[in-house]
């Protein structure tokens, strides 16, 4: 019954998109099957939970899980994380706190008021550039970025439809107001984002890297759709896997969790011990 409901929901979403298009009723059949970038995006939003539901339920929450990193020497590093967030009217006004626990250290990266800083052992520090870039990339190149394209004043372009590995896909480009580009590969059958791709230099002056995020193990949490497993590839090599263990929306979070200590800029980023990274 649930699968039948979802199939009907997909068909309904595409029908709504079709009826809302500017294509004439008398247009040729091939033209009637052509959707715009906005129609594909809105249909995807419908499948992930519909815009009013997403705005209400995902307004704040706590996500906990595990991160596995694959190093260049073939070893793996494990960490647990807790991500707490409060959603603003757009991404610039979001508040995000990421706490990570590794075998040798614990630390937090916090974003709020358009700034990023960190805490380690109760002391504030300014994150190193590569760590900051990794954290912000998760904010700028994500499924949420697509689901909130209107709030963020982003521009959409439908590249077209293509087939990869037996999958029929919509290929959708998103450019945010700061000209950051993300390409989404969306299943034309389920309207789920299967993976996204973007290019970015990990640090100023560094050679740009092609990043791919693959989204797997989709499940419903409080009536919204979430991938519980994400794999990050850098220039085709898997470097990180994230698994969500629990996620709960609608939890009231104290604003002090996201406050920026006045001393944040006076502490250097730790240069010894385990390397601090983010997912």
User: What is the C-alpha separation between 195 and 230, in angstroms, rounded?
Assistant: 9
Report, in angstroms and rounded to the nearest whole number, the Rg of the chain calculated over CA atoms.
20
pLDDT top residue among 123 and 251: 251
Average pLDDT rounded to a whole number, residues 204-230: 94
Tokens linked to 195:
């993976």
pTM of the model: 0.83
Q: Is the pLDDT of residue 6 over 80?
A: no
Contact between 66 and 79 (Cβ < 8 Å): yes
Q: Is the pLDDT of residue 18 over 50?
A: no
User: What is the C-alpha separation between 77 and 88, in angstroms, rounded?
Assistant: 33
Contact between 6 and 13 (Cβ < 8 Å): no
* Whole-number pLDDT of residue 20: 38
**Which residues have a Cβ under 8 Å from the Cβ of 92 and sit 6 or more positions away?**
114, 152
Average pLDDT rounded to a whole number, residues 212-236: 97
- CA-based angle 24:30:31, to the nearest 5? 30
Other beta carbons within 10 angstroms of residue 87's beta carbon come to 20
* Whole-number pLDDT of residue 130: 80
* Whole-number pLDDT of residue 204: 74
User: What is the C-alpha separation between 274 and 28, in angstroms, rounded?
Assistant: 62
pLDDT top residue among 112 and 148: 148
Contact between 213 and 141 (Cβ < 8 Å): yes
User: What is the C-alpha separation between 219 and 38, in angstroms, rounded?
Assistant: 25
User: What is the C-alpha separation between 117 and 111, in angstroms, rounded?
Assistant: 7
């Amino acid at each position: 019954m649930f699968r039948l409901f979802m199939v009907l929901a997909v068909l309904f979403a595409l029908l709504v998109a079709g009826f809302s298009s500017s294509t004439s009723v008398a247009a040729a059949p091939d033209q009637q099957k052509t959707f715009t970038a906005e129609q594909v995006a809105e249909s995807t939003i419908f499948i992930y939970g519909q815009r009013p539901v997403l705005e209400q339920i995902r307004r704040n929450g706590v996500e906990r899980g595990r991160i596995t990193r694959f190093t260049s020497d073939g070893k793996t590093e494990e960490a647990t994380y807790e991500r707490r967030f409060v959603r603003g009217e757009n991404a610039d006004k979001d508040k995000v706190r990421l706490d990570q626990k590794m075998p040798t250290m614990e630390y937090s990266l916090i974003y709020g008021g358009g700034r990023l800083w960190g805490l380690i052992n109760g002391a504030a520090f300014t994150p190193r550039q590569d760590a900051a870039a990794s954290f912000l990339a998760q904010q700028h190149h994500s499924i949420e970025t697509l689901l909130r394209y209107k709030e963020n004043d982003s521009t959409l372009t439908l590249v077209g439809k293509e087939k990869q590995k037996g999958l029929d896909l919509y290929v959708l480009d998103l450019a945010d107001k700061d000209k950051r580009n993300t390409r989404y590969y969306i299943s034309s059958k389920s309207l789920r984002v299967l993976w996204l791709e973007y290019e970015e230099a990990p640090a100023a002056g560094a050679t740009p890297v092609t990043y791919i995020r693959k989204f797997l193990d989709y499940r419903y949490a409080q009536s919204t759709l979430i991938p519980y497993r994400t794999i990050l590839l850098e220039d085709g090599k898997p470097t990180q896997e994230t698994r969500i263990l629990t996620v709960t929306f609608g939890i009231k979070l104290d604003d002090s969790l996201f406050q920026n200590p006045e001393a944040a800029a006076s502490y250097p980023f730790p240069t010894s011990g385990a390397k601090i990274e983010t997912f």
